[in-house]
Amino acid sequence: MPTRNNKKNDILDAAIKVFFEKGFHKAKMEDIAKEAGVGKGTIYEYFESKKDLFQEMIKCSIEKYIEKARKAIFKKNTVKEKLIAFAEHHGMFLANHVDMTQIIITQPQILSIDMKRWLMRGKMEIFTLVKEIIEMGIEDGELRENLDADLATLSLLGTVNQYYSKKIFFDKVSQENIDAEQVIDMLFMGFVQR
């Protein structure tokens, strides 16, 4: 017999699929209920509104993003390998959450103030995760010792996000066909002829 928590997760999984296919405004609670295999009223046992469900879906997605990023990074040895794994993970997330990402960017009014604050904390957690990798690289000598870890982290996060966003959203390139190593190599080598 499904537990209450499993049912909530089923609804969130269904919401991800329906919001992705139809967008926030066209998605209906009936569609989400049908996809989750529950009655429409069951959704309201867990979520007050479509907006509440959408925001909870974002939280769930970001928490999974961070958890999977940690796992992807943990499996690698060198700083460069860890950063490539992070970039690949980020690209996969963007590809799988195109609609959610675009809604957050283009329609921020859908999000409550509390949700915007929560997103900022999530961004800081991701920043800290990547900064720890950079600091590890400085400490181990894989990266130069006078490297500003904050600046390096921001540069890496910005470059990875913008590169994958352009390739996926505008160029319509499949995430599997984007070379994460190329992005990290560019950051490692810089622009200057040596």
The one-digit pLDDT tens for each residue of the chain (194 residues) are 455 668 898 999 898 888 878 878 888 999 999 999 999 999 999 999 999 999 998 898 889 999 999 999 999 999 999 999 999 999 999 888 877 777 777 777 888 899 999 999 999 999 999 999 999 999 999 999 999 999 999 999 999 999 999 999 889 999 899 999 999 999 998 877 66
Domains and CATH numbers, the chain: 1-47 (1.10.10.60), 55-189 (1.10.357.10)
The per-residue pLDDT for 102 is 73
The per-residue pLDDT for 4 is 62
The per-residue pLDDT for 1 is 47
Pick from 63, 143, 61: which is nearest to 103 by CA?
61
* Identity of the amino acid at 72: A
Please write down the long-range contacts of 181-190, taking CB distance under 8 Å and 24 or more positions apart: 181/84, 183/87, 183/159, 184/80, 184/83, 184/84, 184/87, 184/156, 186/159, 187/83, 187/155, 187/156, 187/159, 188/80
